[in-house]
Structure 1
Amino acid sequence: MTDQETPAYPMERAVKCPFDPPPQLKSLQEEGPITRVRLEDGQTPWLVTGYDDQRTVLSDPRVSSDTASPGYPNASVAKAYEGDGEAPQEERPKIGFILMDDPEHARLRRMVTAPFAIKRSEARRPAIQKIVDDAIDAMLAGPNPTDLVDAFALPVPSLVISELLGVPYADHDFFQENSKVIVNLDVAPEERMTGMRNLTVYLDDLVGQKMKAPGDDLLSGLVGRVGAGEITRAEAAQIGVLLLIAGHETTANMIALGTLALFENPDQLALLRDSDDPVVVAKAVEELLRYLHITHNGRRRAVLEDMEVGGQVMRAGEGVILPGDIGNRDPRVFPDPDRLDLTRDARRHVAFGFGVHQCLGQSLARVELQVVYSTLYKRIPTLALAGDLKELPFKHNAAVYGVYELPVTW
C-alpha cells in the first residue's frame, strides 16, 4: 500500500455507537485478518484483527513486549512507562514487568501471582461485598443525581487494590490523579513521565516503610523478597506502581461503562437485576468484558523472528498491533457480535489478553465485577442515566476506555 492507502491507527469510533469498535476496524476484519496500518510517527506495523490470529500471536515467543525491541510500535503511554529517556536505564521509572519478555517477565510475575490466584480472590468476596455495600450506602445518602464514577465506580476498586497492596486509601486522591495523567494520551510525555516518577517515589517510600514495619499485604511480601535478595527495592516499587494503576483504572472504567451499556439495553439490565443465580451473574460479566473491551488501542508487540500469520509473513524487526476490541467482535467466534447478550457463553474473549502476558489480576477483577453487577442494580432498582448519552464525555483520549463522568439518578 502507499502511505495514502495505509489506514491510520488508532481509528475513531462512530459517535452513535460508543460501545462498538471503530467501523473501519470492522471493515478491515471483513477484508482479512491482517493488514498494515500507519501510526502518527510514520511507523507501519501489522494490524491483526482476527480472533484466532490474535491468540496465535499473543502466545508466540517470537514476538516481544519489550519496547526496546526493534520495530515495537511505540505507543505514547508505553514510552511514558519507560520514564525519562535522558536518564540512565537503571534510573528510569518503569511499569513493573508488563513491558518485559521472559525469563525476566516470568521471574518478577511469579513473585505476585499467589495473591491473585482464584481461591485467594474468591476469599476476598465478603470484603469486596462490604466495600460495595458501603459505597452504595454513601451514594444513597448523598446528592441525587450524582456522578457514578466519583461516587462508586472509582472508590470501589481503589479500596480493593489499596487493601490488597497495603497502600493507604487516604492517599487515593494522589494516586488516582497521577494515574489519570499517565493514561491520558493527550497529555505531554513530560507530564506523564512526571506522573510515573511521582508514583514510583511514593511506592518506593511505602516499600521503605514496610521494611521497618511489614504487614500482611502484597507490598510487605515483596519486601521479604527484597530482604532475601530476590529483587531490588526499585523492582518492588515498580511492581507496586503497575498493580496500583492496573488494579483501579481498569475495573473502575468497566463498572461505569458496563452500567451505561446496561442502561442502553434495559432488557439485559432486567435479566441481571432480577436474577439471584451466580452463574447468570458470572456469564453477564464475561459478556460485558467481551462487548466493551476497555483496552481499546491494541496490545503491541515486536516480531523477533520471521513468522506467518493469517497467510502473511511478518518479518523480524516489524511491529504488530492486536486490538482486542475487534477480536472480541469476530463473528466467526461470537455470532451476532455487536449485540449485548448476557446469556452468551463469552468466556473465550480476549479482554484479559492471552499467553504469558494474560492479565495477572483477572480473577480479582471478575470477583469485583460480579459483586458490583449483582448488587448495584438490586440495591437501587430505579438507577438510571441522568442526561443524554450523546453528551457524555467518553475517554477517547485515554489508554483505558470509559467515561469521565456518568450522571445517574434514582
Structure 2
Amino acid sequence: MTDILASADHAPLYPMRREPQCPFAPAATVREMTRENPVGKVRIWDGSTPWFITRHADQRALLNDPRLSIDEKRPGYPHMTRSRAASAPHHPPLITNTDPPEHTRLRRTVNAPFMVKRVEALRPRIQEVLDTLIDEMLAGPKPADLVQAIGLPVPTVVITEILGAPYEDRLLFQTASHALLSHDSTPEQARDAGQKLFGYLSNLFDAKTAEPSDDVVSEMAARVVAGDMSREEALAMASAILIAGHETSASMISLGTLALLRNPDQLDLLRERGDDPKFVANAVEELLRYLTIVHTGIRRIASDDIELHGTVIKAGDGVIFELAGANYDAEEFAEPDKLDLTRPARQHHAFGYGAHQCLGQSLARVELQVVYSTLYRRIPTLALAVPFEEVPFAMEGVAYGLKALPVTW
C-alpha cells in the first residue's frame, strides 16, 4: 500500500471528499497516508503531483525550514486553484507570498492591530455585537439560519470596524471574497471580483488618507505616506485582511455549533463551565483542531533538496501540508476522532505553523471564545431544525463551512 500511495502515477486527487457521515474529520485517504506513507504524493487540479505531508511532527519541522519557500511566483508552485495560478504573477509582495526578510518587513507593517493586547481590548465590543444579534434572532421567526443570524455578522462587523470599512458595504466584499476563494471560480470571475474589491478599497484608502481615523486602513495609509510600504502593498494587505477576517471565523461559529449539537455531552459541559475563561479558551482550541476548516492545505515549494524519512524532496518540488492530517495524527492527539473539550489542544495546526501562521489568530480566538461561552447559555434549548444529513455544507472554498444552519429553540 505504501508503494502505491507513494507513486505519482497512483497519486490520489486532492483535495479529497470527506465522508458524508463524518464530515468534520479528514478524508479516509488522508488518515491512511498519515499512518502508512508520511511522504506521499497527491494530484492537484493541474495534473501536477506535489509532495503531501500530513504528520504533526513533520509539519512542525518543515514549516520552519528555510529550504521551503512560499513564493507563489516560482515555477512548479502548487497553486490551490486555476484562478490563483493565473493571478499569481501579478500579485504584489504580501505576507502570504514572500519569504524572510521581505516577509518580516511586511508582517511588521500590519502586526500591531492583531497583537493580543489590542485584540483583548475588543472583547467587550464583540460581546455587545453578539448579544445584539442574539436578541434579534430570538425576537425573529423560527427556525432561523444561524449562518446569517450569528455566524457571518459577528466577524464581519468586527473586521469592518477594525479596518474602517462601512458594515453596510458587506455584500460587496462577501460576494467578492467568495469568488476569490472558491475552487469553482474561473480565472475571469476571480479577476473581476478582485478588481471590484480593489476598486472599493482604493476609494476607502483615499478617504482615509484625506481624513484618517482610528482604524487599520488609516494606519496603512500613514505608512504609505511615510514610505514604509507601497500603495499596492497596502491595498493588497487590506484585501487579504478583509477576506480572511470574516470568512474563517464565520465558518468556525456555525461549524462549531453543529459539532457541539452532534456531541451533546460536550455542549452540556460548555454550558456548565462557560463562565470559566480558561476552560472556554481550551474548548476553542479543541474545536479548532477537530474542525480544521482550512481543508485545501497550505502550499510551499522546495528551494533546496530536503530529506524526510528516507525520501528526497528535490529543489523545485511542490509541497502541500494537510493541516487536518496533523490535527488528526494519533501520535499527537489520542483518539483524534473524539471531540473532547478538556483535551490540551493548543499545539494544533489549524492556523498553520511557523513564520506564516495566521495573522488574525488572536482575533479569531477571542471571537470564538465570546460566541461559544455566550450563545448556548443564552439559548439553552438551541437545536437543529432539520436532520443532520440535510445540513448543507460548503466545500468549494479554501476553507469549508456551511451554506446554512437551520436552528430552532
Return the offset for 1:289: 0.3
Partner of 1:14: 19
Partner of 1:295: 294
Aligned residues: 403
- Output the CA distance in 2 between the equivalents of 1:204 and 1:101: 26
Maintained 8 Å contact 2:280/2:373: yes
Return the offset for 1:93: 5.3
Partner of 2:362: 363
Return the offset for 1:4: 4.4
- Output the CA distance in 2 between the equivalents of 1:50 and 1:320: 13
Maintained 8 Å contact 1:165/1:219: yes
- Kindly report which structure 2 residues correspond to 1:213-232, keeping only aligned pairs within 5 A, or say none: 213-232=211-230
Partner of 2:375: 376
- Output the CA distance in 1 between the equivalents of 2:224 and 2:312: 44
Shift in CA distance, 344/2, structure 1 to aligned 2, threshold 3 Å: closer
Maintained 8 Å contact 2:8/2:41: no
- Are residues 1:65 and 2:70 paired? yes
Q: Deviations over 1:182-211 (max 9, x none)?
A: 111112221012111111111111111111
Partner of 1:282: 281
Q: Deviations over 1:95-117 (max 9, x none)?
A: 94212222222211111111111
- Output the CA distance in 1 between the equivalents of 2:406 and 2:259: 14
Partner of 2:3: none
Structure 1 gaps, min length 5: none
- Kindly report which structure 2 residues correspond to 1:5-404, keeping only aligned pairs within 5 A, or say none: 5-76=10-81, 79=84, 83=87, 92=90, 96-275=94-273, 276-404=275-403
Q: Deviations over 1:120-161 (max 9, x none)?
A: 111111111101111111111111101100111000000000
- Output the CA distance in 2 between the equivalents of 1:310 and 1:297: 24
Q: Which runs of 4+ in 1 moved over 4 A?
A: 1-4
Maintained 8 Å contact 2:299/2:319: yes
- Output the CA distance in 2 between the equivalents of 1:326 and 1:300: 14
Maintained 8 Å contact 1:330/1:337: yes
- Output the CA distance in 2 between the equivalents of 1:41 and 1:112: 33
Alignment TM-score, normalising by the size of structure 1:
0.95
Alignment TM-score, normalising by the size of structure 2:
0.96
- Output the CA distance in 2 between the equivalents of 1:102 and 1:213: 33
Maintained 8 Å contact 1:284/1:342: yes
Structure 2 gaps, min length 5: 1-5
Maintained 8 Å contact 2:301/2:318: yes
Shift in CA distance, 131/326, structure 1 to aligned 2, threshold 3 Å: same
- Output the CA distance in 2 between the equivalents of 1:279 and 1:252: 23
State which drifts further: 318-327 or 383-392: 383-392
- Output the CA distance in 1 between the equivalents of 2:92 and 2:271: 41
Maintained 8 Å contact 1:34/1:50: no
Maintained 8 Å contact 1:250/1:294: yes
**Fraction of identical pairs, as percent:** 52
Q: Deviations over 1:254-306 (max 9, x none)?
A: 00000000000000001001212111101100000000000001001000011
- Output the CA distance in 2 between the equivalents of 1:277 and 1:3: 50
| Residue type of the alignment partner of 1:39 | I
- Output the CA distance in 1 between the equivalents of 2:309 and 2:394: 32
Maintained 8 Å contact 2:83/2:186: no
Return the offset for 1:344: 0.2
Q: Deviations over 1:358-409 (max 9, x none)?
A: 1111111100000000000011111111101112221221111111110010
Shift in CA distance, 401/77, structure 1 to aligned 2, threshold 3 Å: farther
- Output the CA distance in 1 between the equivalents of 2:408 and 2:78: 42
